[in-house]
Structure 1
């Protein structure tokens, strides 16, 4: 699982090679009448044995089983070809275990073919590596190096008649790669049953327990499947035929996971959003824009799209503010605009309109203000940039716009404007409008 830290065990304290081992190898080959160099040299054996603890310490204790023990014995006897075969088999067995943990039914869904225990057990090593790459149990680097090890094992290990012999350095490199890319990672992500997930998403409204369960399952799978599923969730949210409960479920899932969205996932979502725009699919494009808004991701969109999002929110707030019963209807629209502005800087192309509407709504219309909306307005004003503060003061001191006219025509509006100025840190006020700022606060 991404972000999981696996504590490494202490290196095993292997015994020193007894003084009788190396002489026994020489005596054995002499007794059989074969050259001593059919086995690894004494020097190669000693160096390989010396390097073993450094590699073995990366293997979790529960994976240091029979095959690892046989590998060590083979190394001590100079049988590097046998040692390679043992450690390779240990790596393959562990990868098969990870596939089982991931879920054979989930693998079948991904492959769109039957995949049961017998298929896994009968799978050739090369196909197993392909599968592990596809379901992200190994990354591209791991696949590359393990596939090299597979080729070396087939041609230089005791598994088949060998093309030649390897020395201690070549064996240690082989061992390192098997450990690093297969055995060292004891975590086994669980795949998410895609059919069950989509069925639940499109079913009734999630209960709290359902939401927690599905979020946990998505967190337990690997990043690639999580990216695939979040992409599917985005598509479901944007589908105009999706029911409202399913849209809300989709949004809740993503809200729970958004802080962990990888750069690749964010890029994938932006690409799909752009495809809706390119195809002229207005319903999906609009829903996708709302999806980015709700998740606080509008900064991923281009400036023109950000402008349009702010423009809609500002226009809706102003329409409500100038309609009847505005004091009762403003709060949710004010809160929504605050949520948007909290996601980052307001596009420069919409800043003046943004400032004018927010400040106008905050100072009221002469009849009063929407008290329930005031906290949202105050938070927005407190977050004004120096440029937005300058715009606020320039608009308020001119009769050429409705903010300036309100401040000039109504005592209550002017008093509320001064209160709004008091929310701004004096250090944020640009020097160019400092005299105007001081004049209002007198």
Structure 2
């Protein structure tokens, strides 16, 4: 079907916007209601109207008819309600991400983003995607490769702006027309008009073969070779998924046989925190009395020579749950209010000697550091004393994990937000007198002398990577 010609009626729209504004203002006056700071100025709305044709033209014509929230975005901009328009941008993006996840691989997505085994059992179909928080949706799409690194950074920032500058907060006059149309363009370019590519497509192909084919050694060789080209974060998600598939009581013998052919390679490519996570899930099955899943987890770990990653005791399981609760509270709505109770709960699990089990140390340091540096809008003041207690008990092991954090993409994205990089640098400088490890000290010093724009990208700096790889 040929695309119909684009009819430009910007002059008519502008006149209509002007007439609507005057009529509404008069009506509000008639009712004795405020008229100041209700609608953004017409010249700001005009900026959106002038740029919309070019931005919307990047969406395939067939997809435009399904983009309800973009129509609502345009209507809200024309009416001068930029805070509502920002909500509609985000709603359209969330709807599009859910559709992509549903078309891509639901099980892989759920396994990648949900580490709580009890909660995971309740997530099975496309309808269950609404049970995933929006920050989890964005992060999960990043972990599975549906979103690129750049796309994740942009969307995480837009999500923050939506939370702080949308209709939930009376500050829409801080938004400009060019900002709004730029965010719309970003959401279209990175999500609405873009399909998964590269590593994400490879993983989808791998999982389809594992679930549906009868694999031989030659087939497995191709899959194992393809795994070598996957980013670390996606390897982590893939390991989490095949472990979850293997330990499910409903998984067929054929699928388990296929997993055995590729599991050891995936395990070898994964980092220690991913391996320890599998050990933690074994301990969780044991603690919950899930004997069948515990046996299958033991079988998987034995097959990849991973029994050494089992936690020494149940403390690690308890700590893991407390860390997850704090991490979720920090990333969720109303985080400044919700964080303190979870921070206090986590402090209660810290041993007197400050020794954190190796299996949860990486997530522990990451969660405490992310909460301590804030989300670009500040730090939970009531939780801050608890964070300081935990940070003060950091040993050399935690200092090493701290300098490794810059290799993680979501932490790097956080550091690009205002005040986060200075707070991170301040932490690094406070650790310098406390370590005698020359490698750790060199990494901390490099952080300490870096500028705010440099810190988010240190994890990709060849000099910094040489230091980290010296451990």
TM class, shorter-chain normalised?
Answer: 0.3 to 0.5
- Considering only CA atoms, is the larger Rg found in Structure 1 or Structure 2? 1
